[in-house]
């Protein structure tokens, strides 16, 4: 399973085509819908970081303020820094329970500290919100990693970058691309969680980027290193001596 | 009110009320082996059923995360792949193989197996207590400490595999007490293959077998303190047979799985646990020290040095108490867990399954016994509170967790000291001959 994910997601790569095609209006080779700057101005990608501590939720809300094709599909590319991780197996379980659709581009170590972990990219496929038409939402759990001990009172801020918004429309495939009148990039990425063959997506740029978010994680106090080592060794040796004396006192040494 | 008398007998304080008599009668019925076992099994099956309901309907799941790990690993096995493709699977492939009916039959197969082993553990405790001279009623009462205990019932019904180990360890002890050395050796070899910690019983078992061979304490027994005499005592037929079978089984399984799964098997099943340096918070007194020194050059030395208190105590305890194997295994497990570099709450079950064998021989008053138990729970609560605030609230409580870990070590030491100093040694009656 992991192998499959690696094979498919490693294929994710960027191709910068700049201003590739523009086909204003309906008909022609296009699918009949053009991404314009006015349309983009009304698109919002809101990301909220909920809960506290090491186990948090990233709540994504994609809002389209203007009409869009019915079969428009959305992919959020979320770069994850080394300070946090997503648990592939938790995502699998949530996929069954809540229909969460997320792919990871590499195998993620669930136990390593931040300084021994590489970052990775998550491909989040938000789904329509049945209670709010025109909105797509999804909630993805992330977890903080342990960080290098630091000076007293210091905490580690792990910034969560804003995701990139990619769009595609099935009816716009095979030479009939979803069009943009703006400078844009074509990104090749898995079509969906269920269909991991590669599709071409349009990255919507110039989105309004809200304030960045960060996890604020506690770290060990390195100034205490000798106190902690001394205290730990003192107590363990003391307990060892007490137990040794007790065992010796009540021992039943029979060897023949 | 129930309490245990000095001889492990059960008494009912005479209240002479009708209600009291009814309760007495009901509990007397419950203290029959088959009733107790049936009650324990039904209780666990209900918990498994509730688990299915909770998993389907609630956000917080009943099933242990480890159970999903086992099942994922089994799925890889059924697909002809290595169970170690499932990250964090750090067990023998045998477990993944045993649990393949989770894929082929039903997801709850493993839970039912663990629940069965859990109840079997209670039965083995009861049989061992009978062998150790307790009455039928008392042996049921003390085995009820396991069978009616919500902790092991919850753990096995959530899908944690610890009950498999508990059954293997208690099965080994029962076979040794009955002198069924072949069966004991097979169970012991399997137990060490499944988890490393029963290896701490190797020395007590070896000493136990050589002591028994010589008929310790018999009037006609001659003591030979020469080197030849010592070697002859240690290398007796029973010990060699036990070592050959258990060692052979362990090595055979290791070779077979190494042949199939290669380095992954050795690393994930054994080496990972030996070299494990988990810097994330856990019950171990060493956790904060290992976290702060993780990247220091001398951290390796510190890690090795932390083995010393554990190893020295295991050695001494084995030499001191090997004649009473149940007590010795209990103490060795408690020492191993308490002084380990990593300790999580599931490790507590490793020694809790042996506790009912020790309790009947304690001369503690009920009040003090309950006090010691309360202290053990209080120490865990004191650790859990700052751990919760760190993990779920993001507060810097590292120092508090470290101090609570040290306090837990002190309290565990106090409990072990109390048990050792209040333990009344028993003469095990009618020791059978080797099979």
Best CA proximity match to B115, nearest among B148, B66, B158, B145: B158
Residues B248 and B308 in one domain: no
Report pLDDT for B376: 95
Number of structural domains chain B divides into = 2
Rounded to an integer, the average pLDDT of B124-146 is: 92
- pLDDT of B100 over the 80 cut: yes
Of B88, B410, B425, the CB nearest to A235: B410
Residues 6+ apart with CB under 8 A from A154: A219
Report pLDDT for B155: 92
Residues B294 and B248 in one domain: no
Report pLDDT for B23: 65
Q: Using one digit for the tens of pLDDT, what is the confidence trace for B306-355?
A: 889 999 999 999 999 998 999 999 999 999 999 999 898 889 999 999 99
Report pLDDT for B30: 65
In this predicted structure, which of A61-65, A96-100, B56-60 has the lowest mean pLDDT?
B56-60
Residues B246 and B316 in one domain: no
Sequential DSSP letters for A58-125: EEEEEEESS---TTEEEEEEEEE-TTEE--HHHHHHHHHHH---EEESS---SS--GGG---EEEEE-
User: Are B233 and A243 an interchain contact pair (Cβ–Cβ within 8 Å)?
Assistant: no
Number of structural domains chain A divides into = 1
Q: Using one digit for the tens of pLDDT, what is the confidence trace for A9-38?
A: 433 333 333 323 333 333 345 566 677 777
Of A52, A222, A253, the CB nearest to B392: A52
- Is residue A161 domain-resident? yes
Question: B73: number of CA atoms within 13 Å, CB side?
Answer: 26
Q: In chain A, which residues have their Cβ closer than 8 Å to the Cβ of B278?
A: 111
- Is residue A116 domain-resident? yes
Domain residues for the domain of A147 are 24-219
- Is residue B375 domain-resident? yes
- Is residue A177 domain-resident? yes
- Is residue A94 domain-resident? yes
Q: In chain B, which residues have their Cβ closer than 8 Å to the Cβ of A116?
A: none
Rounded to an integer, the average pLDDT of B136-143 is: 91
Q: Using one digit for the tens of pLDDT, what is the confidence trace for A201-243?
A: 888 877 777 777 899 999 999 999 999 999 999 999 999 999 9
User: Are B421 and A109 an interchain contact pair (Cβ–Cβ within 8 Å)?
Assistant: no
Q: In chain B, which residues have their Cβ closer than 8 Å to the Cβ of A113?
A: 279, 294
Q: In chain A, which residues have their Cβ closer than 8 Å to the Cβ of B229?
A: 256
Do A75 and A138 form a contact (C-beta atoms < 8 A)? no
Q: Using one digit for the tens of pLDDT, what is the confidence trace for B401-414?
A: 999 999 999 999 99
- Strand, helix or coil at A132? coil
User: Are A256 and B221 an interchain contact pair (Cβ–Cβ within 8 Å)?
Assistant: yes
User: Are B394 and A217 an interchain contact pair (Cβ–Cβ within 8 Å)?
Assistant: yes
Distances (CA, A) of B129 to B146, B173, B180, B229: 13, 11, 17, 34
Best CA proximity match to B155, nearest among B39, B53, B67: B67
Residues B306 and B374 in one domain: yes
| More reliable by pLDDT, B288 or B427 | B288
Q: Using one digit for the tens of pLDDT, what is the confidence trace for B267-317?
A: 888 777 776 667 888 999 999 999 999 888 887 788 788 889 999 999 999
Report pLDDT for A168: 84
Question: A23: number of CA atoms within 13 Å, CB side?
Answer: 15
Distances (CA, A) of A97 to A48, B58, B311, B333, B394: 22, 10, 46, 39, 27
- Is residue B176 domain-resident? yes
Residue A141 CA to residue A122 CA, distance in Å, equals 12
Residues B267 and B382 in one domain: no
Q: Is B169 left (phi over 0), alpha (psi -120 to 50) or beta?
A: alpha
Maximum Cα–Cα distance across chain A = 100
Distances (CA, A) of B295 to B29, B292, B328, B340: 60, 8, 37, 20
Question: Where in chain A does DSSP place strands (E)?
Answer: 13-15, 34-35, 43-50, 55-64, 72-80, 84-85, 102-104, 120-124, 127-128, 135-144, 155-160, 164-169, 179-180, 185-190, 198-204, 213-218
Report pLDDT for A178: 66
Do B410 and B339 form a contact (C-beta atoms < 8 A)? no
Best CA proximity match to B153, nearest among B232, B40, B70, B11: B40
Report pLDDT for A254: 62
Residues B284 and B400 in one domain: yes
- Is residue A245 domain-resident? no
Residue A203 CA to residue B417 CA, distance in Å, equals 68
Report pLDDT for B424: 87
Tell me which residues of chain B, numbers 385 to 414, contact chain A at a CB-CB cutoff of 8 Å.
Answer: 390-399, 402, 406, 409-410, 413
Q: Using one digit for the tens of pLDDT, what is the confidence trace for A115-141?
A: 989 999 999 999 887 777 778 899 999
Report pLDDT for A11: 35
- pLDDT of A85 over the 50 cut: yes
Domain residues for the domain of B359 are 278-427
User: How sure is the predictor about B429, in pLDDT bands with cuts at 50, 70 and 90?
Assistant: low
In this predicted structure, which of A171-175, A201-205, B136-140 has the lowest mean pLDDT?
A171-175
Percent over 70 (pLDDT), chain A:
80
Report pLDDT for A176: 56
User: Are B417 and A111 an interchain contact pair (Cβ–Cβ within 8 Å)?
Assistant: no
How far apart are the CA of B57 and the nearest CA of chain A, in angstroms? Answer: 10
Residue of A nearest to B389 (CA): A53
- Is residue A138 domain-resident? yes
Rounded to an integer, the average pLDDT of B356-385 is: 94
Residue A251 CA to residue B177 CA, distance in Å, equals 21
How far apart are the CA of B248 and the nearest CA of chain A, in angstroms? Answer: 26
Rounded to an integer, the average pLDDT of B57-67 is: 85
Report pLDDT for B276: 66
Report pLDDT for A251: 86
Report pLDDT for B14: 41
Question: Where in B54-117 does DSSP place strands (E)?
Answer: none
User: Are B312 and A244 an interchain contact pair (Cβ–Cβ within 8 Å)?
Assistant: yes
- Is residue B45 domain-resident? no
Rounded to an integer, the average pLDDT of A180-202 is: 82
Rounded to an integer, the average pLDDT of A187-191 is: 89
User: Are A218 and B217 an interchain contact pair (Cβ–Cβ within 8 Å)?
Assistant: no
Residues B290 and B374 in one domain: yes
Residues B271 and B285 in one domain: no
Report pLDDT for A193: 86
Q: Which of B339, B410, B417 best probes binding to A when mutated, by most A CB atoms within 10 angstroms?
A: B417
Residues B332 and B240 in one domain: no
| More reliable by pLDDT, B323 or B415 | B415
Rounded to an integer, the average pLDDT of B377-382 is: 95
- pLDDT of A180 over the 80 cut: no
Q: Using one digit for the tens of pLDDT, what is the confidence trace for B210-251?
A: 765 454 444 444 555 567 766 776 678 888 999 999 999 999
User: Are B391 and A54 an interchain contact pair (Cβ–Cβ within 8 Å)?
Assistant: yes
Q: What is the ipTM of this complex?
A: 0.85
Residue A134 CA to residue A150 CA, distance in Å, equals 46
Most confident of A131-145, A168-182, B261-275: A131-145
| DSSP assigned state of A53 | T
Is the CB of residue B233 less than 8 Å away from at least one CB of chain A?
Answer: yes
Report pLDDT for B305: 82
3-state secondary structure B11-28: EECCCCCHHHHHHHHHHH
Report pLDDT for A17: 30
Report pLDDT for B331: 97
Instruction: State both tokens at B108.
Output: 């709850």
Percent over 70 (pLDDT), chain B:
85
Distances (CA, A) of B93 to B80, B99, B171, B262: 12, 10, 22, 12
Rounded to an integer, the average pLDDT of A182-204 is: 83
Q: Using one digit for the tens of pLDDT, what is the confidence trace for B161-201?
A: 999 999 999 999 999 999 899 999 999 999 999 998 999 99
Rounded to an integer, the average pLDDT of B29-39 is: 81
CA angle B151, B157, B162 (to 5 degrees): 70
């Amino acid at each position: 399973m992991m192998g499959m994910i690696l094979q498919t997601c490693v294929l994710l790569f960027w191709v910068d085509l700049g201003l590739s095609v523009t086909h204003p209006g309906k008909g022609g080779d296009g699918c009949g819908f053009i991404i314009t700057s006015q349309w983009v101005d009304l698109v919002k990608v809101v990301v909220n970081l909920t809960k506290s501590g090491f186990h948090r939720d990233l709540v994504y809300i994609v809002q389209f303020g203007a009409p869009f094709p019915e079969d428009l599909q959305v992919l959020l590319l979320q770069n994850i820094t080394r300070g946090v991780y997503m648990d592939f197996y938790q995502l699998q379980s949530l996929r069954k329970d809540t229909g969460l659709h997320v792919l990871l581009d590499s195998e993620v170590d669930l136990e390593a500290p931040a300084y021994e972990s590489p970052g990775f990219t998550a491909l989040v496929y938000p789904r329509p919100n049945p209670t709010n038409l025109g909105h797509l939402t999804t909630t993805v759990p992330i977890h903080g990693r342990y960080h290098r001990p630091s000076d007293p009172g210091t905490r580690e801020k792990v910034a969560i970058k804003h995701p990139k918004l990619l769009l595609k429309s099935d009816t716009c495939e095979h030479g009939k691309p979803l069009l943009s009148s703006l400078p844009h990039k074509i990104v090749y990425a898995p079509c969906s969680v269920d269909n991991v063959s590669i599709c071409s997506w349009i990255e919507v740029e110039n989105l309004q980027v809200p304030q960045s978010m960060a996890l604020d994680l506690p770290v060990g106090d390195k100034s205490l290193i000798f106190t902690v080592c001394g205290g730990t060794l003192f107590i363990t040796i003391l307990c060892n001596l007490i137990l040794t004396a007790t065992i010796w006192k009540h021992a039943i040494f029979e060897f023949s | 009110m129930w309490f245990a008398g000095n001889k492990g007998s059960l008494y009912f304080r005479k209240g002479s009320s009708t209600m009291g008599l009814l309760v007495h009668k009901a509990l007397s019925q419950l203290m029959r082996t088959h009733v107790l076992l049936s009650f324990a099994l039904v209780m666990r099956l209900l918990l498994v059923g509730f688990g299915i309901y909770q998993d389907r309907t609630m956000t917080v799941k009943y099933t242990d995360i480890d159970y999903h790990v086992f099942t994922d690993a089994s799925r890889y096995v059924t697909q002809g792949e290595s169970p170690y493709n499932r990250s964090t699977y750090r067990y023998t492939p045998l477990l993944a193989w045993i649990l393949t009916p989770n894929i082929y039959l039903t997801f709850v197969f493993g839970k039912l197996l663990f629940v069965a082993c859990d109840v079997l553990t209670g039965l083995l405790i009861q049989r061992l207590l009978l062998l150790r001279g307790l009455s039928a009623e008392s042996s049921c009462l003390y085995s009820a400490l396991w069978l009616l205990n919500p902790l092991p019932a919850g753990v096995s019904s959530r899908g944690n595999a610890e009950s498999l180990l508990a059954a293997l360890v208690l099965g080994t002890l029962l076979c040794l007490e009955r002198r069924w050395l072949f069966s004991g050796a097979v169970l012991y070899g399997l137990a060490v293959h499944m988890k490393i910690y029963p290896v701490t019983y190797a020395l007590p078992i070896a000493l136990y077998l050589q002591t028994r061979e010589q008929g310790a304490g018999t009037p006609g027994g001659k003591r030979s303190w020469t080197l030849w005499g010592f070697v002859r005592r240690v290398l007796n037929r029973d010990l060699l047979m036990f070592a050959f079978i258990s060692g052979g089984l362990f090595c055979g399984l290791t070779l077979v799985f190494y042949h199939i799964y290669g380095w992954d098997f050795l690393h994930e099943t054994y080496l990972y646990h030996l070299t494990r340096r988990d810097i994330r918070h856990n019950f171990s007194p060493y956790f904060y020290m290992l976290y702060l020194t993780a990247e220091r050059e001398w951290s390796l030395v510190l890690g090795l040095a932390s083995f010393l208190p554990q190893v020295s105590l295991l050695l001494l305890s084995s030499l001191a108490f090997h004649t009473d194997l149940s007590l010795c295994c209990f103490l060795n497990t408690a020492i191993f867990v308490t002084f380990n570099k990593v300790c999580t709450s599931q490790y507590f079950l490793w020694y809790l399954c042996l506790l009912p064998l020790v309790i009947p021989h304690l001369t503690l008053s009920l009040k003090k016994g309950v006090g010691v138990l309360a202290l053990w729970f209080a120490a865990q609560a004191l650790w859990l509170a700052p751990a919760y605030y760190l993990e779920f609230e993001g507060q810097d409580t590292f120092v508090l967790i470290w101090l609570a870990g040290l306090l837990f070590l002190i309290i565990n030491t106090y409990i072990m000291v109390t048990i050792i100093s209040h333990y009344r040694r028993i003469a095990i009656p009618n020791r059978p001959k080797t099979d």
